[in-house]
Amino acid sequence: MTATRTADREAARRSVQGLSLGDAFGERWFPLFREPARAAREIRDRVVPTEAEWHWTDDTAMALAVLRVLVEHGTIEQDRLAACFALTYDADQARGYGHGMHMLLPPLLTAPGDWRTLAPTLFEGGSLGNGAAMRVAPLGAWFSADLDLVVEQARLSAEVTHAHPEGIAGAVAVAVAAALSVRGGLGLAEVAARTPAGAVHDGLLKAADVPLDTAPWRAADLLGNGQRIRADDTVPFAVWTAVRHADDLVAALWATAEGLGDVDTTCAITGGIVGAATGVEGVPAAWLRRRESPGASWA
């Protein structure tokens, strides 16, 4: 089938490596681990976190579930994806899942097909949060040879948990960005051109007008940093930093961290996009030793 023929597993592998590194690195800057003034200072001074273990969170857990379905089926089978999300959640609930997923995922363990009725009732009209965007970059890398397929499969992957059009648009934008990263043509206007009309799309166009020599914390002020836990408050800034450092994963993650906010998720998004092109081979050994590996379970 077409979906199988176009699969770029190697790009997807690179992307999930970048995504999980960003997730684990970004998590280090949360107030739980560092009070905000210290986090801002250490990010500015590029002080690498010295904790022995940087654990990844729900962003990586869900990305691995998406990849598991692609490996099994070559395409997004939505009921299977719902089951994999529920299984992943059930195996380790302490990965920092948002409120909506704590409500949605347990019932899907025994009745995966119920996502069709349950997801649209989350938050009155479906979730417009970051959950579908934060996990989707490896899917964009996987289908990068066919951008129409990227858009279609990203939408299918999002709908299982995020019924709101903005939640879906966030996923489409990040998947397209990852695909363009693999193809070597990543740009904000190019991502916006494939993103459905709405707030995420408009945020991407706004980001396209923010010069790349702008300080990242200032860009986050203009574009959002995920603090509002909405896709349109998260995706434009994370794609902007990816464009700013399209060939340097470490520089991209520092720039994204400067925005603080929902920093594990913004770094997971940026890491998945840039990593799809670069992989993690150029990342310092001190980082790779500390970060929790996403494992090879999906390969």
Contacts with Mg ion by CB under 5 A lie at 57-59, 96, 264
Residue with smallest beta-carbon separation from Mg ion: 57
Q: Which is nearer to Mg ion, 58 or 258 (CB)?
A: 58
Q: Are 146 and 6 in contact (CB under 8 A)?
A: yes
**C-beta of 96: minimal distance to Mg ion in Å?**
4
* Helix H or strand E segment including 20: helix 9-27
Q: In a 3-state reduction of DSSP, which class is residue 1?
A: coil
**Whether the Cβ atoms of residue 292 and residue 56 lie closer than 8 Å to each other:** yes
Cβ of residue 113: shortest distance to Mg ion, in angstroms? 26
- Token couple for 245: 């450092």
Least Å distance, CB 23 to Mg ion, is 6
Rounded CA gap, 52 and 21, in Å? 14
* Single-letter code of the amino acid located at 60: T
Nearer to Mg ion among residue 190 and residue 264 (C-beta): 264
- Closer residue to Mg ion (CB): 59 or 258: 59
Our CB check for Mg ion shows the closer of 57 and 225 to be: 57
Q: Nearest 5 degrees, angle CA 284-CA 285-CA 291?
A: 95
Query: Residues near 265 by Cβ (< 8 Å), separated by ≥ 6?
Result: 23, 26, 59, 130, 133, 134, 226, 234, 238
Report, in Å, the least distance between residue 163 CB and Mg ion.
Answer: 20
Buried b (16+ CB within 10 A) or exposed e, 245-273: bbeebbebbbbbbbbbbbbbbbbbbbbbb
Task: Report the residue number, 30 or 111, with the smaller CB distance to Mg ion.
Answer: 30
Q: What is the DSSP letter of 144?
A: T
How near is the Cβ of 92 to Mg ion at its closest, in Å? 13
Rg of the chain, C-alpha, whole Å = 17
Closest distance of CB 149 from Mg ion, Å:
27
Q: How far is the CB of 265 from Mg ion (least distance, A)?
A: 5
Nearest CB to Mg ion, comparing residues 159 and 264: 264
The Cβ-side half-sphere exposure at 86, using a 13 Å CA radius, reads 20
Nearer to Mg ion (CB atom), residue 57 or residue 75: 57
